[in-house]
Structure 1
Amino acid sequence: MNTKFEAGINIAIKIPKNKYEKTVAFYRDILKLKVEEMPIKNPTVSRTHEVKFGNNIIWLDCVDNYTHSETWL
């Protein structure tokens, strides 16, 4: 069996609510990347921002019940 793993274009960073604004500001103000808030209807994510990163999209997801950040590939 030949299995081939390929990456998708989306990377999600789950960020605790108390660190969310500073994280968004870092990507927008320090890294100077295009950051845009997007509408979301998800029971576990209260806000999300899309960050264009080359051919990839980083999703900055605000999660109210997390104590630390996680990166989902």
Structure 2
Amino acid sequence: MEPTFEGMNIVLKIPKSKYGKAIEFYRDILKLEVEERPIANTAVSRAHRVKFGYHALWLDCVDNYTHSETEVRLPICFF
């Protein structure tokens, strides 16, 4: 059984003080499609999805962070 790879999810956890500028950068400078999405995580106050190809960059606003963090989530499916 060979694994198949679907799109990657890259998550940027961004402090609230820098979040607006990050949204502007991806939307206005890079001209990528930025869509606000509902979020159920209580640690994240807002979330935006930036789609490129079959990958997604998630911009998460975290009120109590002082610096940004990055997570890479690679889903693997076995059939």
Do the structures match in fold with TM over 0.5?
yes
TM-score range, shorter chain: 0.7 to 0.9
- For residue 8 of structure 1, report the CA deviation from its aligned partner: 5.4
Aligned identity (percent) is 65
1:15 equivalenced with 2:14 (yes/no): yes
- For residue 43 of structure 1, report the CA deviation from its aligned partner: 1.1
For 1:39 and 1:25, the matched residues in 2 are separated by 19
Q: Tell me which residue corresponds to 2:42.
A: 43
Aligned length: 69
Consecutive unaligned residues in structure 2, runs of 5 or more? 73-79
Consecutive unaligned residues in structure 1, runs of 5 or more? none
One-letter amino acid of the counterpart of residue 25, structure 2: F
How does the TM-score come out when normalised to structure 1? 0.87
* Larger RCO (CA under 8 A, 6+ residues apart): 2
> RMSD over aligned Cα, in angstroms?
1.6
How does the TM-score come out when normalised to structure 2? 0.80
For 2:54 and 2:42, the matched residues in 1 are separated by 28
- Flag as ranges the 4+ runs of structure 1 deviating above 2 A: none
Between Structure 1 and Structure 2, which shows a larger proportion of strand residues? 2
* Matching of residues 21-36 of structure 1 within 5 Å: 21-36=20-35
For 1:7 and 1:17, the matched residues in 2 are separated by 30
